[in-house]
Amino acid sequence: MVYVLDKHKKPLMTCTEKRARLLLERGRAMVHKKAPFTIRLKDRLVEDSVLQPLGLKIDPGSKTTGGAVIREKETIGYYECQHRTDIKDKMDTRRSQRKSRRNHKTRYRKPRFNNRNPGKCTACGKNAKHGSRYCRPCAEAKNLTDNGHREVRLPVSLQSRVDQTMSWVNKLRALLPITSVSMELVRFDTQLMQNPNISGVEYQQGTLAGYEVREYLLQKFNHQCAYCKGESSDPVLNVEHVVPKNPECGPRGAGRISNLVIACKTCNDTKGNLQPDEWLNKLKTSKKKLNQDRAKNLPEALKQLKAPLKDAAMMNATRWALYRRLKATGLPLETGSGGLTKYNRTQILKLPKTHYYDAVCVCESLPDMVSVPFVENYTATGRGNRQMAGVDKYGFPYRWRERKKIRFGFQTGDIVTADIFKGKYKGRWQGRVAVRKTGFFDIKDSAGKRICQGIPAKHCRLLQRANGWQYERRCAALPPHA
């Protein structure tokens, strides 16, 4: 499948690879974009063309959002949008650096107070309500409250997923004449996921009903350390995270009550920021009796750990924000439940569990043919960062960058092709470039793996500029009846 645009870059119906090759050979079309491969016709307008209605189906997810394009009971494309998962860690790093800056002695600086004028509207300059940045007409026009905030304010990590989904949808709308959108509007019952027999007033009585956290943990572990059972003779008991919350120490631990135990100060300091598996392996190699007791008791503490529900909580928090953003596009919007999607996939179409097959089964309009061989994967990579000093794992700077992204006409993330005539990497290479100040670049494939190293800039030819996204095409999973 090849995307086709008219002479004014408006989307037309797709064509086959053979048809696109003939149009390019006859001079009727030109290559508009390499990834995803798109051609632009020189002698065609969208007003003179007959377009068929295309429907975009979306299955939102916390890490991956699935999509499918339907044309008259026929599927013509599968899609997956890979979201960024490093936003939370980056915000935590920024917060820690901000906190350290506030402790610096900066009395040599002049005090700065009242930099803003809260009495004037920042949009039109008229008088605003006290404590607000906007007047009432501007607030209503911008869909804001009286305090100048958005009606729905999501954390940055959640808002980024909504923005990435909308950016991905807009990219598809720029390539395909989409006329309708279908979305799975699912809500997860997190309490029911933990306790299938919950009902009635039990929804209002959680694990800590009638307790404080420390009191609950002390009673749960009989006022003893969960690791050594009092063998260390340390009377000081702390609340300890079994899986540490420090993002620099591997997978982050949740603040759920199931991840908390009572530990003496000796065991707490000995464990530090180690993951439970790492600490257990370290304890097993020790010959000390205290460490052997810890190795015996640690698996009991690990049994109480429960799977984190942050993905379900994220979907509950962002579903209506995404719904409003899709509604604002002006396209007809259809919604369906998660139960309907599962029924359509397992009972009617009998498809395997994937994000794009879930998208096919969203809502009641189902296709008759599901035979697309490829899946187009869109991965959000971002556009780099503005951090000038690279820091080590302890937070100390060890290298500095220049305020310059472009080197010899290229920047990291550009799609290039390189013709090497001799040496270890002789041949033609194509992929994403990682630039260096020296002029000798690396080229990586779509999976981020380096395929050649030290390529001179003069041998590279630009195919497409980096735009914060990475495109990849792979084979789709075959249905059981195929």
pLDDT digits (tens, 9 = 90+) for 289-298: 888 989 888 8
Give the pLDDT band (50/70/90) at residue 61.
very high
Question: Which whole number is the average pLDDT over 97-115?
Answer: 66
Q: What is the pLDDT of residue 399?
A: 83
pLDDT 10s digits, 341-399: 999 999 998 899 999 999 999 998 888 878 888 999 999 988 887 778 887 877 788 88
Provide the 8-state DSSP code for 480.
Answer: T
Confidence of residue 445 (pLDDT cuts 50, 70, 90): confident
Position of tokens 């803003």? 116
d(CA 2, CA 38): 6
Q: Flag the least confident range among 91-105, 139-153, 180-194, 210-224.
A: 139-153
Query: Which pTM value belongs to this model?
Result: 0.79
Q: Looking at the predicted structure, is the pLDDT value of residue 435 above 50?
A: yes
Q: Characterize the bridge pairing of strands 3-5 and 38-41.
A: parallel
Of the candidates 121, 112, 127, 173, which has an alpha carbon nearest to the alpha carbon of residue 144? 121
Higher pLDDT, 153 or 324: 324
Q: How confident is the model at residue 90 (pLDDT cuts 50, 70, 90)?
A: confident
In this structure, are residues 129 and 146 in contact, taking their beta carbons and an 8 Å threshold?
Answer: yes
- Determine which helix (DSSP H) or strand (DSSP E) holds 82, and give its type and residue range: strand 75-82
Q: Determine the straight-line distance between the first and last CA of the chain, rounded to whole angstroms.
A: 21
Closest alpha carbon to 67 in 346, 478, 476: 476
The arithmetic mean of pLDDT across residues 434-462, rounded, is: 90
Determine what percent of the chain is predicted with pLDDT higher than 70.
Answer: 88
Closest by CA position to 371, among listed 136, 68, 21: 68
What element of type H or E holds 241? strand 237-241
β-pair type (260-264, 237-241): antiparallel
Q: Write down the H helix ranges in 285-381.
A: 289-303, 310-327, 338-343, 355-360
Selection from 409, 413, 424 nearest residue 455 by Cα: 424
- Closest CA relative to residue 157, chosen from 242, 246, 93: 93
Q: Work out the average pLDDT over 149-159.
A: 74
Q: How far apart are CA 188 and CA 183, in angstroms?
A: 16
Query: What pLDDT shows up at residue 250?
Result: 55
Question: Under 8 Å CB-to-CB from 456, ≥6 apart: which residues?
Answer: 439, 440, 441
Residue 339 vs residues 275, 312, 329, 343, 361: alpha-carbon distances, Å = 37, 15, 26, 6, 11
The three-state secondary structure class of 462 is strand
Question: Which domains does the chain carry?
Answer: 1-48 (no CATH), 210-287 (1.10.30), 389-466 (2.30.30)
For the chain, give the mean pLDDT.
85
Report residue 148's pLDDT band, with 50, 70 and 90 as the boundaries. Answer: very low
Residue 282 predicted with pLDDT over 60:
yes
- Least confident interval from 83-87, 194-198, 282-286: 194-198
Tokens of 286: 């020790």
